[in-house]
Amino acid sequence: QWIYMNGNYVTKEDAKVSVFDHGFLYGDGIFEGIRIYGGNIFKCKEHLDRLYDSARSIMLNIPLSYEDMQAALVETIRRNEMRDGYIRLIVSRGPGNLGLDPERCPEAWVIIIVEQLAIYSEEAYRNGLVSVSVSQRRNIPDALNPKIKSLNYLNNILVKIQANLAGVGEAIMLNAQGYVAEGSSDNIFIVKRGIVYTPPCYIGALEGITRATIIELCDKLGYTLKEEPFTMHDVYVADEVFFTGTAAEVIAVREVDGRVIGSGAAGPITSRLLEAYRQIVE
Ligand code: PDD
């Protein structure tokens, strides 16, 4: 396994960052999770756009041009002979002295890891996940905006811990007003009477690239899609619930907080969207 670090390719054993790296010390940095399907980078432009937007928002100077970043991704995939897998692209503020001032960090660090991906079983895609809502609230957009895919994932990790304690694969996070925001690392959709709903991102959700792809697919397949705030009540009475994410793709939910959703397996619209999604990526 070859890992890209600031223009060099190093082995997994040699891929080490400094304890003075501000990504490590303060979570000061950004990242992307990207899929490789059949040797191609899926939605490369969308992921790089989001990365460069996150960088701009936090005044992080990425030391590579957009084109050079793209070339680095391609070269890392080639060196690892990866046909299907997952890319973790990280840009950290880089090493600097203690103290959270980013001006202490002369140079951002760019790291690219490509790996095989352990995803949900096919059984989970057919029968759906069990999920719960958790007490942890989503960062609100006027504090640390969830649109920034920052290395500071504690908010989401606390949700993941609550999911683990409940023994479920993914949990549902609300915003401070009690509206459904998203999962720990996935966006959420519900279906009611044939209409597909997802929370608008201003509620407190990452602008997921899979989410955007599903919105496009709804249009293509003739499903009405509404970006509207909704509550846990709407989730409980939904005909279908599913999560979307780069890693998860489109995964059905069969039970939430003890309420059985629809028929208790992946619903027809969820299954149709998953099928259409897989047709795009394959
Ligand atoms: N997830 N919400 C959060 C908080 C996320 O971390 C992610 C990404 C998503 C889905 O976004 P996208 O469809 O662009 O992946 C939503 C991880 C990193 C992943 O699935 O790879």
Distance 198 CA to ligand 1 centre (A): 15
Distance 185 CA to ligand 1 centre (A): 5
Q: Which of 136, 154, 213, 246 to mutate to test the pocket of ligand 1 (most atoms within 8 A of CB)?
A: 246
Q: Which of 206, 217, 281 to mutate to test the pocket of ligand 1 (most atoms within 8 A of CB)?
A: 206
Domain match, 161 and 250 both: yes
Q: What total number of domains does the chain contain?
A: 2
CATH number of the CATH domain containing 183: 3.20.10.10
Domain match, 36 and 152 both: no
- Choosing from 96, 115, 134, the residue where a domain stops is 115
CATH number of the CATH domain containing 49: 3.30.470.10
Domain match, 21 and 103 both: yes
260: left (phi over 0), alpha (psi -120 to 50) or beta: beta
Phi, psi (deg, nearest 5) at residue 230: -145, 165
Domain match, 30 and 140 both: no
Question: Which residues constitute the domain of residue 80?
Answer: 2-115
The percent of residues above 90 in pLDDT, for the chain, comes to 93
Going by the DSSP 8-state scheme, the letter that residue 102 receives in this structure is G
pLDDT of residue 16: 96
Domain match, 74 and 210 both: no
In 3D space, the residue among 212, 211, 157 whose CA is nearest the CA of residue 184 turns out to be: 157
Domain match, 126 and 185 both: yes
- Choosing from 58, 86, 115, the residue where a domain stops is 115
- Choosing from 75, 100, 115, the residue where a domain stops is 115
pLDDT of residue 145: 84
pLDDT of residue 139: 78
Domain match, 205 and 237 both: yes
pLDDT of residue 142: 66
In order, the DSSP letters of 210-228 are HHHHHHHHHHHHT--EEE-
Domain match, 137 and 252 both: yes
Domain match, 188 and 157 both: yes
Domain match, 92 and 147 both: no
Distance 149 CA to ligand 1 centre (A): 9
Residue nearest to atom 15 of ligand 1 (CA): 246
Alpha helices in 66-208 (DSSP H): 66-79, 122-127, 154-166
Domain match, 246 and 152 both: yes
Domain match, 55 and 139 both: no
Q: Is 215 in the pocket of ligand 1 (CB under 6 A)?
A: no
Taking residues 167-195, report their average pLDDT.
97
Kindly report, residue by residue over 69-107, the tens digit of the pLDDT: 999 999 999 999 999 999 999 999 999 999 999 999 999
pTM for the whole thing? 0.96
Kindly report, residue by residue over 112-149, the tens digit of the pLDDT: 999 999 889 999 999 999 999 999 988 776 667 888 89
